[in-house]
A and B are shown apart, each in its own frame.
Chain A
Amino acid sequence: MRNLTMLLFKQIIAVIVLVISASSVYASTEIEREESPEYIFYQGNGHYKDGLYDEALVEYAKIIEDGLEGGNLYFNMGNAYFKKGELGKAILYYEKARRFIPNDSDLRSNYKYAVSSLKNTVDDAESSFIHDILSMPETLTIDGLTLLLSALYICIVILFIAIIYFRNIKRPALISIAILSALWVLTASSAYNRASAIDIEAIIILKEAEARFEPIESATLHFGLTEGMKVQILESKPKWLKVKRNDGKSGWINKNSAEKIQAEK
């Protein structure tokens, strides 16, 4: 009888231990969730407000290390680099932000100002109706373009269904389908270009970078690149990057001269 009581007592203790350990596991998961990205973001903002830009960047970088990204986050990081005087990095982060919030007026203003600070000129883009129409895809994110493509496609399908069931609207429906299809093709082409550029666009982050004909230190200089300039990466080697400038010239630069807009995973 006594042995039975002892056995029961031991089992109760074991159950209590299990419950406590399970609750501690739950508590530990709570701890992991403790520093949410929003909380870290506010911490970063706090440092920024105090003028501690390096500390702010450390906080913001924690969010990126957690595998997250966002337009406002990159915008604030761009501002912090701008305040630190690292304009190349500021433009890099504004470019990153543009992939999330291309229509944000603050971002456009800061981006334009950062670019003009580098060139020492005010770079006001021309604004006209045709220009606005042509640059409309630029005002959308890649996800926005993808959704637009999907919406156009669904409209085309609906029109086809309408033709099947309502013969009398065949003509206007076909005209609409033709217009929507043309728009779909244009949007798809823009989305394709944007998606192709995601992993190859980079920004020059050093004050000056020298592009050479060959990936060797002693190779002949080909052309120069300045801070904040956007380039396309054509090829990558351990210490060198083959980049193409907007005018089509390509050459080899040191890897630390440029940073990709889309961070590598």
Chain B
Amino acid sequence: MILNRNYFINIIIVLGLLLFFSVRSSIAEEINFEVSADRNVIMIGQGLNMQIKFSNSKNVPALRLPDIEGFRSRYIGPSTSMSIVNGRIASSVTHIYSLVPLKTGKFNIGPFGFDHKGNTYKSNTLMIEVKDSLNGGENAGRDKGSGQAINDRISVVMEADRSKAYLNEMIPLTIKLYIDGLSVRDIEYPVFEHDGISVDQFKEPRQYQERKGGRVHDVIEFSTIMFATRSGNLSIGPARIKSSLMIQKQRRRSQSAFNGFFDRDIFGYEKHSIELLSEPLSLNILPLPRDGRPDDFRGAVGKFRMSVESSPSEVSAGDPVTLKLSITGEGNFDTVTSPVLKREEGFKIYEPQVTKSANKKVFEHVLIPRAETITRLPDLYFSFFDPEEGKYTELIKKDLPLKVLKPQKDEELMVFDAPQSAKKRPARETLGRDIIYIKGSPGKFRTAGAYLYKNPIFYIINVIPLLLLISLWILKKEKARLSSDVGYARRLLAPKKAKRGMDKAAKHLGRNEPDEFYDAVSKTLREYLGNRFHLSSGGMTVDIVDTALRNKDIDQEMLQDIKTLFNECDIARYSSKEHGTAEMEATLTRLREVINYCEQIKQ
């Protein structure tokens, strides 16, 4: 038993040593780096597997491949292997990538490089030829242009019926998916941005074939209608369609007779998600014209007809009449609102019930005539804008007859007078309660937050009465003082009178009339001093002035000037001395200086 245990331990030690040395030898060896493909010639619409094999190591991570011209790549996964040959362990890892060709031609793939533990490795180069035909002979007759991209084989085209339309006008929109000989599945409905445009749901897609660019394409057509909700230049799209491209997988050829069949089954294809983009569209949306817009226009755009049915045609006052207004035609029914009822006096009108179907909108009004004098239904007006004609059309239904009878009161009385109900009081009427209907007119709009008390002009206007009050009060006070205080009144008048006197003196100076000039100067001076200092102007002499002004805190020099003026005037008036113009000008200047000085002193 002990022997057996020793034998087992020896085997483990030997195996461990072997493994240790073999691993050491494998680490010490260089990594081989090789790129290969399962085939070198493929057709567009098929895929191929590319393997990147790292020998002597199984720990190399997958390379992040750069963009490969003419192909779209996808990492599938790793595959590791280990082999012992002549007691030597060899390990390797193969990273597998799927490549899908995007266009035809001959392409070089690689070389690829990678760094591992400080060493840089470089792979070999692969040459792959991508041919146009999917099924060889089947498409042999078609044009095989070299360098044809997958975009030429599958594309999306978005088309609007017209690029110029009016606001709210219906515009048919078509999105076509063109497929040329490719297998495409899981096609989703198109999606696109449509800011400012309302788009209806897509109808069931239509499939047919169409010749485009000299080749027959399978077409899947998505159609809908749209309308713009604002005017201006609007952009729509690009339309995106998500789908899956089925790429034929490579299978190893075998001699089996069934392989030809199984190559084409669902399991023989690989699915690749693709997203296709169309070109965007631009639309020029015109606003509805203002000219000729009827008052009752509520925004309907299209070409419509209006029909009216009313029932019954003969009712008692207080009984309901149903007015059924049908709007039919072509256009944007979202913009169609109930026709306007005019001359509806004498009717109680309830909100209409609206039913909408394809190309038809029906408004059912319930009307109750209040009096038997009514002979007609209200007039009906419906206006719409016809984008084809480019003008508004108003449909009017007038004078629709209605016979209203007297309410049958007798019958009601009979009911209440019946013996079994005579004792019972009529049940109290139960009335419904609801909110009162919306306002029909917009009333006055105001800038948000623009309150009167925030408006500075309002305050300025309000200050005016206060200023008026203050002014009138001052005026009244002034008037009262003028009438009671003679000295004050004289003082106020003094400069005005003096100015007139000086003007008169200046005139005489201009005419060279010395006597009149000095008379005017003397009179002006006496009057001014009399008024200004409340003195008697009549008997004013130099002495009186001197005595009166001595207490007034007047500059002595100025007092002397006043005296000089008096003297000059007296001399001129009572002597025969001739006076020149210059002398008179000096006198007038002195008079002005005296008056100006006196005006400045306080009293």
Whole-angstrom CA separation of A226 from B433 in the bound complex: 23
Shortest A159–chain B CB gap in Å is: 10
User: Hey, which chain B residues are within 8 Å of A153, CB to CB?
Assistant: 462, 465
- Indicate if the CB atoms of B438 and A68 lie closer than 8 Å: no
Question: Counting CB contacts under 8 A, is B428 at the interface?
Answer: no
Instruction: Give A153 to B337 CA distance when docked, in angstroms.
Output: 51
Q: Is the interface of A mostly helix, strand, loop or mixed?
A: helix
Task: Assess the A157–B469 pair: CB atoms within 8 A.
Answer: yes
Bound together, the chains give a CA A259 to CA B434 distance in angstroms of 25
Kindly specify which of B87-95, B140-148, B207-215, B446-454 makes contact with the partner chain. B446-454
B337 touches A46 (CB 8 A): yes
Q: Are A63 and B452 in contact (CB under 8 A)?
A: no
Set of chain B residues within 8 Å of A160, measured between Cβ atoms: 469
**Contacting pair A69 B445 (CB below 8 A):** yes
Min CB distance, B394 to chain A, in Å?
16
Contacts of A113 in B (CB 8 A): 433-435
Taking the complex as formed, is B436 at the interface, i.e. its CB lies under 8 A from any CB of chain A?
yes
Q: Could you say which of A68, A72, A191 contacts B448, with CB atoms under 8 Å apart? A: A68
B-chain residues with CB within 8 Å of residue A114 when the two chains form the complex? 435
Q: What's the minimum C-beta distance from A14 to chain B, rounded to whole angstroms?
A: 26
B contact residues, range: 35 or more
| In the complex, residue of chain B having the shortest beta-carbon distance to the beta carbon of A195 | B453
B351 touches A49 (CB 8 A): yes
Comparing A75-83, A168-176, A203-211, A227-235, the segment that makes contact with chain B is A75-83
The residues in A between 142 and 200 inclusive whose CB is less than 8 angstroms from any CB of B are 142-143, 146-147, 150, 153-154, 157-158, 160-161, 164-165, 191, 195, 198
- CA–CA, A65 to B536, complex, Å? 80
Whether B318 sits at the interface, judged by CB under 8 Å, is no
Interface SS of chain B: loop
Which residues of B are found within 8 Å of A67, using beta-carbon distances?
A: 447-448
B472 touches A161 (CB 8 A): yes
Which of chain A's residues have a CB closer than 8 A to the CB of B468? 157, 161
Closest to A109 in B: B436
1/0 contact trace for B166-207 toward A, CB 8 Å? 000000000000000000000000000000000000000000
B39 at the interface (CB under 8 A from A): no
- What's the nearest-Cβ distance from chain A to residue B165, in Å? 15
* CA of A249 to CA of B433, assembled, Å: 34
Give the residues in chain A near B440, CB-CB below 8 Å: 45
Task: Give the interface residue-count category, chain A.
Answer: 35 or more
Judge if B292 is at the interface, Cβ distance under 8 Å. no
Selected from B231, B338, B443, B462, the residue in CB contact (under 8 A) with A70 is B443
B445 touches A37 (CB 8 A): yes
Task: Enumerate chain A residues within 8 angstroms of B338, measured Cβ to Cβ.
Answer: 46, 49-50
Contact of A72 (CB < 8 Å), options: B287, B439, B458: B439
* A64, A101, A161, A195: the one within 8 Å of B443 (CB): A101
The answer to the question of A106 belonging to the interface, with a C-beta cut-off of 8 Å to chain B, is: yes
Q: Are B443 and A30 in contact (CB under 8 A)?
A: no
Contact of B445 among A45, A68, A165, A191 (CB under 8 A): A68
Residue of B nearest to A69 (CB): B448
Write out the residue numbers on chain B whose beta carbons fall within 8 Å of the beta carbon of A47: 337
A43 to chain B: which residues have CB within 8 Å? 298-299
**Do the beta carbons of A79 and B438 come within 8 Å of each other?**
yes
Partner of A150, one of B441, B446, B462, B472: B462
Instruction: Report, nearest first, the 7 A-B pairs whose CB atoms are least far apart.
Output: A46-B337, A72-B443, A72-B439, A41-B442, A157-B465, A68-B445, A106-B436
A-B contact pairs, 6 of them (CB 8 A): A34-B288, A42-B442, A46-B337, A47-B337, A100-B446, A160-B469
Beyond the given pairs A42-B298, A45-B438, 10 more chain A to chain B contacts, judged by CB atoms under 8 angstroms and listed by A's residue number, are A35-B287, A46-B298, A50-B338, A68-B446, A70-B443, A73-B442, A75-B438, A146-B451, A154-B465, A161-B468
Residue ranges of B at the interface with A (Cβ–Cβ < 8 Å):
231, 287-288, 290, 298-299, 337-338, 351-352, 354, 433-449, 451-453, 458, 462, 465-466, 468-469, 472-473, 476
Give chain A's interface residues, CB within 8 Å of chain B: 30-31, 34-35, 37-38, 41-43, 45-51, 63-64, 67-73, 75-76, 79-80, 82-83, 100-101, 106, 109-110, 113-114, 142-143, 146-147, 150, 153-154, 157-158, 160-161, 164-165, 191, 195, 198, 262-263, 265
